[in-house]
Amino acid sequence: MRLMKLLALVGLFFLSVVAASALAAEPQVSINTMTPGQWRVASLGHSANAALVVRVVKHPRNQELLISCDGMNGGNYSVTKKSFDEGEKHQQKIFDVFFNLSSATYYCEAVLKRKQEDGKIKEFTSFVEVTVY
């Protein structure tokens, strides 16, 4: 009986360690291309040939979101940014971003800047490769 209790306690310990590491590993920002279904819904009123979805973890100290696409084999460079007000409670979590890009392969990156408690700015990044035809 003691052995079973000990094994159950050890199992709970490992389960809590795994759960804590999974929560800590949540990306603060992610960028992806839109699926065809998302593109049809989100592109109303937009004429673009590159459509991206950027997800941001809401946080009261988020400062700025910078989204850029840089041509890797020619192409051009496009950038857009969103500034967050200090303590903004109604931050958007998902951003649809549209770029008109020339034919090329692009390195598209989302950079989230967050002010730390010590006043320093920490950057979280995510990227995706996009080919425009």
| Structural domains in the chain, sorted by start | 27-132 (2.60.40)
Closest CA to 34 of 52, 48, 17: 52
Q: Where are the beta strands (DSSP E) in 24-101?
A: 29-33, 50-56, 62-71, 77-83, 94-99
pLDDT digits (tens, 9 = 90+) for 9-20: 444 444 444 444
Residue 17's pLDDT is 41
pLDDT digits (tens, 9 = 90+) for 75-85: 899 999 999 87
Average pLDDT score, the chain: 80
| Single-letter amino acid, residue 40 | R
pLDDT digits (tens, 9 = 90+) for 21-44: 444 578 999 999 987 766 555 555
Contacts of 131 (CB under 8 A, 6+ apart): 104, 105, 106
| Single-letter amino acid, residue 44 | L
- CA angle, corner 85, sides to 79 and 91, nearest 5? 80
